[in-house]
Amino acid sequence: MAVPSRLLPRDVEDDRRRRPLLIAEPISNMPLLHMDVPSTSQECGKLPDECKHTARLLRLFDDLFDSVNGSYHQVMNGKEYRAAVTPKSPHHALWRRSLKVLKSMKFCDKAGRTVSVPSVQSWIKTIERIEKLYQLLKSMGIDSILLRNVNQDPLENFFGAIRSHGQSNTMPNAFAFEAAYKSLLINNLSSAHSVGANCESDGVQCLQSLKYLIEKQNNKDTTSSFEINAEHISIDELNTDEMTVGTSRTEVERTAAIAYCSGWLVTRVQKCCFKSCPTCKKDFVSEERQNFHKNIECREYENKGWLCYPTREVFDCFLQLENIINIVLSDKCHIKNISNYIKVIIETNVDFNFISCGEHKTINIDFIINKSIKFFIHTWCTTVNQILTGKLSCFNENDKIKKSAFEYYLKNKRRKNYILFYLFIKIIFSVCYLK
């Protein structure tokens, strides 16, 4: 019988593979079963009779590894020691036999002096303490234990992930450890298993992700109260008829934008809420082309009719939502829980009676409000940033925040231009000097 390739000398002598986990891998149960048959080895002339003693010793350690790594309540793949520890399981007899062998083992250094090997002493302590732990748990009414769940692999994997953060963070102090832990928490422990460490992958993940913690904190904040501005309780409705028939550039562009975005909102409501409900579809989707649909028709690809054409009621509702949200943001953008504040103002001022479906009315209204708030807050913030950088100069002057942003840009644009001019002159002199 040829020596299995898993037991070749290179597997043990290679310094890069000299780890307990990798060294224990070749001495698993299957190669040992072949080594523990000396008659077959002698007939083939490959292994001497002394291999029997080596096989028994390796078999003992293989069983020891399995006995402290049990993860199944039943015997799997013939590994009887890799099952749960019970009062009648063979683990106790194995541990008693192993203690006698381990305590009788002696190691000598090159000078022939007897030395103490930490790994053997650690095995003795581990077995003795596992026995005491089992007796303690048994006295508390626990008869079955999976020892895989009490090993230190998850802890070692966690510290391995900390050390691997930044590739050279092998000995972090308290400050570095805290920073690495925060980064791993945000990344949801990008490497849950410490690669190359003396432990198996434990399959453990974060109890909760960072997204859960943030959403939970936001949910706590929503319980706080806020004061309603009296001017926001009754906001005048816009005259949509004048805007849809207007000929000025501002009116035409706003009508086109509201029509297209309200059509997008209808597609989201249909996909997430009412699906194929005919009543809701009649309330949200227009069967006839109207005057404010011209921009949507221009955006069609080869006149396929793939875009959504909202009803006039949806168009008016979306326009009112935009007006209310912009007014509130202009006055209250600094307050906490601004989304909840806007939601209260919308429920006070906007009429959703055009939705006639009793089954989906509540879910449709909630979805429209929440989606519109996110959409218009993002649009408003983008507009303010464009004004601050000078990319946008045409805006609603009644918005105090946008007006202040434009004044800030006018005040600081000369300084920006001066810095750019200084850098340009410096580059010119640098080029001339190099020549």
Per DSSP, the three-state class of 14 is coil
Answer yes or no: are the C-beta atoms of 285 and 311 closer than 8 Å. yes
Q: Hey, what long-range contacts does 236-243 have (CB within 8 A, 24 or more apart)?
A: 237/320, 238/319, 238/320, 238/323, 240/315, 240/316, 240/319, 243/319
Residues 366, 246 share a domain: yes
Residue 149 within a domain: no
| Confidence label for 225 from pLDDT (cuts 50, 70 and 90) | low
Return the pLDDT at 270.
92
Residue 173 within a domain: yes
Neighbours of 231 (CB within 10 A): 10
- Residue 310 sits at φ, ψ, to 5 deg, of -75, 160
Q: How confident is the prediction for the chain on average, in pLDDT?
A: 78
Residues 101, 188 share a domain: no
Return the pLDDT at 296.
87
Answer yes or no: are the C-beta atoms of 141 and 135 closer than 8 Å. no
Q: State both tokens at 61.
A: 């350690």
349-363 burial: b if 16+ Cβ within 10 Å, else e: bbeeeebebeebbee
Angstrom distances, CA of residue 284 to CA of 271, 312, 376: 12, 9, 20
Distance CA 117, CA 268 (A): 68
If phi > 0 it is left, if psi is from -120 to 50 it is alpha, else beta; for residue 305 that is left
Distance CA 348, CA 7 (A): 78
At 379-414, the pLDDT tens digits run: 998 898 888 888 888 888 888 888 888 888 888 877
Helix axes 51-67, 91-104, angle to 10 degrees: 130
Residues 202, 178 share a domain: yes
pLDDT above 90: percentage of residues in the chain: 22
Of the residues 175, 196, 221, which one is the last residue of a structural domain? Answer: 221
Residue 265 CB-density burial (10 A; 0-12 exposed, 13-18 middle, 19+ buried)? buried
Distance CA 131, CA 164 (A): 35
Residues 373, 347 share a domain: yes
Residues 40, 103 share a domain: yes
Residue 38 within a domain: yes
Who contacts 110 (Cβ-Cβ below 8 Å, separation ≥6)?
none
Answer yes or no: are the C-beta atoms of 268 and 371 closer than 8 Å. yes
| Confidence label for 281 from pLDDT (cuts 50, 70 and 90) | very high
Return the pLDDT at 283.
93
Per DSSP, the three-state class of 83 is strand
**The dihedral sign for the CA sequence 68, 70, 74, 78:** negative
Residue 121 within a domain: yes
Angstrom distances, CA of residue 192 to CA of 19, 320, 404: 20, 49, 49
At 83-112, the pLDDT tens digits run: 888 888 898 999 999 999 998 888 888 888
Distance CA 415, CA 418 (A): 5
Return the pLDDT at 223.
47
Per-position DSSP letters for 133-169, written without gaps between them: HHHHHHHTT---B-GGGGSSHHHHHHHHHHHHTTS--
Return the pLDDT at 417.
61
Q: How many CA atoms lie within 13 A of 123 on its CB side?
A: 22
Q: Quote the DSSP letter at residue 274.
A: I
Return the pLDDT at 366.
94
Residue 217 within a domain: yes
The residue to which tokens 């990319």 are assigned:
391
Residues 315, 167 share a domain: no
Top mean-pLDDT range of 172-181, 321-330, 412-421: 321-330
Residue 429 within a domain: no
pLDDT at 76 over 70: yes
Residues 16, 74 share a domain: yes
Give the mean pLDDT of 232-242.
85
Answer yes or no: are the C-beta atoms of 119 and 107 closer than 8 Å. no
Residues 380, 258 share a domain: yes
User: Structure pTM?
Assistant: 0.49
Residue 431 within a domain: no
Residues 239, 206 share a domain: no
Residues 389, 291 share a domain: yes
Residues 177, 139 share a domain: no
At 5-51, the pLDDT tens digits run: 344 444 444 444 445 544 555 555 545 555 554 444 445 456 677 77
Where in the sequence is the domain holding 11, given as residue range(s)? 5-107+116-143
Per DSSP, the three-state class of 395 is coil
At 129-160, the pLDDT tens digits run: 989 988 998 899 888 888 888 877 777 777 87
Provide the number of structural domains found in the chain: 3
Residues 347, 243 share a domain: yes
Return the pLDDT at 4.
41
Answer yes or no: are the C-beta atoms of 386 and 401 closer than 8 Å. no
pLDDT at 430 over 80: no
